[in-house]
Amino acid sequence: MAEALRAGTRVKQVLVARGSRGPELSRLLREARSRGVGVEEVDGAELDRLAAAHGSLRHQGVAALVAPLKCSDVDDILAGARAKGEIPLVIALDRIQDPMNLGSIVRTAEAAGAHGIILPRRRSVGLTPAVARSSAGAVEHLRVARVSNMVSELRSLKEKGLWVAGLDVSGGPLWKADLSRPLVLVVGGEGTGLGRLVRETCDFLVGIPIVGKVGSLNAGVAAALAIYEAVRQRSE
């Protein structure tokens, strides 16, 4: 909630359970009021009902009524990179289904300074409250675009001068690839990996060597390693 308040005007009203106290809550309510957001005391049972309706049983005595997250356009993501004078680093997610994974990837991408995330409109989790929670507020600060056809979008980005690297177990070690160029890093879904057409559209594939008994890494962990390798190469 604090990140939503700092990011702009998505928070329409803050609801707080009667009798709730604490320094963190007091700071949050002061920030809400300073931004012109109304604060209303309600029964704890009302917060329980609202939390359950949105897939959560935890509210810690406070909840916010927020406007839906707005998606960006892919061109907005590239414009953001140009405005910063930086080489584009875009993360494309192919059929990520787990809100925790999506939230984790959004959090890592924002922390690492990536310029945005591209999601397909179908066969992918959207920007749900669970994603927002697991991103620790990062979804409020990172551009996210949803596209109808991932393959077509990747081809369009290639025409605009970006290279497309697919994260795949069949790829060579990611640290041996040049990830410092204008880049779209494509991460596949849990269990399924990259779709065939998406894989074929990539300019090259990169992988994370596995020497233990497990066959692969969690999508969020794999994405984090690849994103930070791209950041490392750009800092050299």
Instruction: Out of 12, 43, 66, pick the residue that ends a domain.
Output: 66
Mean pLDDT, residues 89-111: 92
Task: Assign 18 a pLDDT band (cuts: 50, 70, 90).
Answer: confident
Determine which of 30-44, 110-124, 203-217 has the lowest per-residue pLDDT on average. 30-44
Same domain, 53 and 80: no
How far, in Å, CA of 47 to CA of 86, rounded? Answer: 44
154 and 205 inside one domain: yes
Q: Are residues 202 and 126 in the same domain?
A: yes
Greater confidence, 232 or 65?
Answer: 232
Task: Give the pairing type, strands 38-42 and 62-66.
Answer: unpaired
What is the number of domains present in the chain?
A: 2
**Does residue 30 sit in the same domain as residue 83?**
no
Same domain, 186 and 145: yes
* CATH code of the domain in which 39 resides: 3.30.1330.30
Q: Are residues 142 and 106 in the same domain?
A: yes
Local confidence band at 38 (pLDDT 50, 70, 90 cut-offs): confident
**Statement to judge: residues 157 and 192 lie in one domain:** yes
Q: Which of 95-104, 112-121, 212-221 has the weakest average pLDDT?
A: 212-221
Q: 152 and 60, same structural domain?
A: no
- The C-alpha angle with vertex 128 and arms to 124 and 132, in degrees rounded to 5, equals 115
Among 10, 44, 66, identify where a domain stops. 66
pLDDT, mean of residues 174-181: 96
Higher-confidence residue of 183 and 9: namely 183
Chosen domain end from 35, 66, 97: 66
The predicted structure's pLDDT at residue 85: 96
pLDDT in tens, 187-206: 998 777 899 999 999 999 99
pLDDT value of position 14 = 76
Domain extent, residue 226, equals: 74-235
* Shared domain check, 154 and 229: yes
Residue 112 falls in which region: left (phi positive, over 0), alpha (psi -120 to 50) or beta? alpha
Residues 153 and 81 in one domain: yes
**Buried-state track 106-141, b at ≥16 Cβ within 10 A, e below 16:** bbbbbbeebbbbbbbeeebbebbebbbbbbebbbbe
Which residues have a Cβ under 8 Å from the Cβ of 37 and sit 6 or more positions away? 5, 11, 12, 13, 14
Q: Which helix (H) or strand (E) holds 205?
A: strand 204-207
pLDDT category at 98 given cuts 50, 70, 90 is: confident
- Residue range 133-154: mean pLDDT, rounded: 88
Q: Do residue 10 and residue 55 come from a single domain?
A: yes
CATH of the domain at 141: 3.40.1280.10
Same domain, 170 and 101: yes
